[in-house]
């Protein structure tokens, strides 16, 4: 039987202040100016917060529902172009992976942590802060937000990939070299990669030496964070120390719409057609989205998917 967890927030304690300073601040308006346009580095005050010490994270992992949507972990060496499945076939338990993270060359991603009774209240406040700083352009587009906690070994690589979610990577412990690529440049992320990704291939992004010259490289320290626009490719090399980071993610309405065009284009390309990229014609994008919705609905009737598990989600106020 588990003891009742203690919430992180006590009366009269502001979870967004640490040592009297705000955990997040935006004196220059960077969040609104760069929102989903380009990566940038920001400062935060979560460094050294005991909620993110390894013992606390082991306890957090025990509180997560025993469902694969709540935790991903991978053991052993990976390289830049490896898929997410690498290192999952035979692996330590989730708790043993976190306890041994100093030596087992692993990464752990704990998901939906904003719903946790202990750490969740702080993470929900942070989810709200990024929206507040970015303004209506973000608030009006967000469907749901989620906080992931990433724990990874010294010198571990996170393979090259991009995500469908808008992201703020908040480095709490350790340092890393973070390589980000421009999501608006076709040389750095191609339509074929995006079409594959939005058709169900999460490792569709392909790294190449020629791309590396275009990377923006951040020497990220604990106490700093990076904004990563939707589908901006990135890969990470940890420093010689344990890394703990938050990945604050948001699903956007605009991306869900664009994903339908990529999904349809993937099928058109397989038929030998060279489809136009989304974003060139609002009318064409609308027609493609409607066609994709119809086709996906038809596929769902022919081959019903199991209902997704349900849990509480965070949405902007
Ligand atoms: Fe990512």
DSSP sequence for 241-266: S-EEEEEEEEEEHHHHHHHHHHHHHH
For residue 314, give the DSSP letter. B
How confident is the model at residue 18, as a pLDDT?
65
Residues β-bridged to residue 245: 150, 171
Residues β-bridged to residue 171: 245
Q: Provide the pLDDT confidence category of residue 10 given band limits of 50, 70 and 90.
A: very low
Cα 149 to ligand 1 centroid, rounded to whole Å: 12
Cα 273 to ligand 1 centroid, rounded to whole Å: 31
Residue-wise pLDDT for 87-136, tens only, equals 787 889 999 999 999 999 999 999 999 999 999 999 999 999 999 999 99
Neighbours of 277 (CB within 10 A): 16
**Over the range 219-250, which residues count as b (16 or more CB within 10 Å of their CB) and which as e?**
ebebbbbbbbbbbbbbbbebbeebbbbbbbbb
Residues β-bridged to residue 73: 108
How confident is the model at residue 269, as a pLDDT?
86
293 pLDDT above the threshold of 80? no
Task: Read off the pLDDT of each residue in 146-173 and give the average, rounded to a whole number.
Answer: 96
Q: Provide the pLDDT confidence category of residue 183 given band limits of 50, 70 and 90.
A: confident
Cα 69 to ligand 1 centroid, rounded to whole Å: 16
249 pLDDT above the threshold of 70? yes
How confident is the model at residue 308, as a pLDDT?
64
Whose CA is closest to 171, among 14, 56, 42?
Answer: 42
**Dihedral through CA 20, CA 22, CA 26, CA 31, nearest 10?**
160
146-160, 268-282, 286-300: range with lowest mean pLDDT: 286-300
Q: What's this model's pTM, rounded to 2 decimal places?
A: 0.86
Classified as helix, coil or strand, 146 is strand
231 pLDDT above the threshold of 80? yes
Whose CA is closest to 247, among 151, 182, 183?
Answer: 151
How confident is the model at residue 85, as a pLDDT?
82
Task: Read off the pLDDT of each residue in 160-164 and give the average, rounded to a whole number.
Answer: 93
Whose CA is closest to 205, among 184, 185, 188, 217?
Answer: 188
Average pLDDT, the chain: 88
How confident is the model at residue 11, as a pLDDT?
40
Q: Provide the pLDDT confidence category of residue 204 given band limits of 50, 70 and 90.
A: confident
What topology is assigned to 31-252 in CATH?
Jelly Rolls (2.60.120)
Residue-wise pLDDT for 19-36, tens only, equals 666 789 898 999 999 999
Cα 207 to ligand 1 centroid, rounded to whole Å: 14
Give, in degrees to the nearest 5, the angle at Cα 221 between 220 and 225.
Answer: 60
Q: Provide the pLDDT confidence category of residue 301 given band limits of 50, 70 and 90.
A: low
170-179, 245-254, 278-287: range with lowest mean pLDDT: 278-287
83 pLDDT above the threshold of 90? no
Q: What is the per-residue DSSP string for 112-139?
A: -GGG-TTTHHHHHHHHHHHHHHH-HHHH
Whose CA is closest to 175, among 234, 240, 233, 110?
Answer: 240
Residue percentage of the chain with pLDDT more than 70: 90
Classified as helix, coil or strand, 202 is coil
| Nearest-angstrom CA–CA distance, 46 and 40 | 18
Cα 158 to ligand 1 centroid, rounded to whole Å: 8
| Nearest-angstrom CA–CA distance, 81 and 85 | 12
Neighbours of 63 (CB within 10 A): 17
Half-sphere exposure of 191 (CA within 13 A, CB side): 17
Residue-wise pLDDT for 38-78, tens only, equals 999 999 999 989 999 999 999 999 999 988 889 999 999 89
Cα 221 to ligand 1 centroid, rounded to whole Å: 17
Residue-wise pLDDT for 186-195, tens only, equals 777 899 999 9
Using CB atoms within 10 Å of the CB of residue 150, give its burial: 0 to 12 exposed, 13 to 18 middle, 19+ buried: buried
Expressed in angstroms, the distance from the first to the final Cα of the chain is: 35
Token reading at 99: 């306890």
How confident is the model at residue 108, as a pLDDT?
97
Cα 290 to ligand 1 centroid, rounded to whole Å: 29
Domain boundary assignment for the chain: 31-252, 256-302
Strand boundaries in 153-300, DSSP class E: 157-161, 166-173, 176-180, 216-220, 224-228, 234-238, 243-252
Neighbours of 72 (CB within 10 A): 16
Cα 161 to ligand 1 centroid, rounded to whole Å: 6
Cα 115 to ligand 1 centroid, rounded to whole Å: 21
Q: Provide the pLDDT confidence category of residue 283 given band limits of 50, 70 and 90.
A: confident
1 pLDDT above the threshold of 60? no
Task: Read off the pLDDT of each residue in 205-232 and give the average, rounded to a whole number.
Answer: 94
Cα 13 to ligand 1 centroid, rounded to whole Å: 32
Q: Provide the pLDDT confidence category of residue 9 given band limits of 50, 70 and 90.
A: very low
In the chain, what is the greatest distance between 2 CA atoms, to the nearest angstrom?
63
């Amino acid at each position: 039987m588990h003891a009742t967890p203690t919430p992180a927030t006590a009366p009269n304690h502001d979870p967004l202040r640490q040592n009297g300073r705000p955990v997040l601040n935006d004196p220059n308006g960077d969040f609104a100016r760069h929102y989903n346009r380009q990566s940038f580095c920001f400062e935060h005050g979560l460094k050294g917060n005991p909620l993110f010490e390894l013992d606390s994270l082991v306890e957090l992992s025990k509180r997560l529902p025993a469902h694969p949507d709540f935790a991903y972990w991978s053991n052993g060496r990976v390289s830049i172009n490896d898929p997410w499945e690498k290192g999952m076939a035979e692996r330590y338990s989730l708790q043993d992976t976190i306890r041994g993270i100093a030596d087992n060359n692993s990464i752990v991603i704990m998901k939906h942590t904003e719903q946790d009774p202990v750490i969740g209240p702080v993470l929900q406040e942070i989810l709200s802060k990024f929206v507040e700083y970015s303004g209506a352009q973000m608030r009006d587009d967000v469907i749901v937000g989620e906080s992931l906690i990433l724990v990874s070994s010294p010198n571990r690589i996170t393979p090259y990939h991009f995500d469908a979610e808008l992201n703020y990577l908040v480095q709490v412990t350790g340092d890393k070299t973070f390589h980000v690529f421009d999501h608006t440049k076709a040389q750095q992320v191609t339509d074929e990669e995006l079409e594959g990704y939005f058709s169900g291939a999460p490792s569709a992004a392909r790294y190449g030496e020629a791309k590396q010259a275009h990377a923006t490289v951040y020497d990220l320290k604990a106490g700093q964070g990076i904004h990563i626009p939707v589908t901006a490719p990135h890969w990470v090399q940890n420093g010689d120390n344990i890394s703990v980071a938050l990945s604050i993610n948001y699903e956007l309405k605009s991306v869900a719409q664009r994903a339908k065009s990529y999904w349809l284009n993937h099928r058109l390309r397989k038929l030998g057609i060279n489809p136009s990229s989304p974003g060139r014609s609002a009318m064409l994008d609308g027609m493609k989205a409607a066609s994709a919705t119809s086709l996906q609905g038809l596929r769902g009737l022919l081959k019903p998917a199991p209902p997704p598990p349900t849990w509480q989600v965070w949405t902007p106020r």
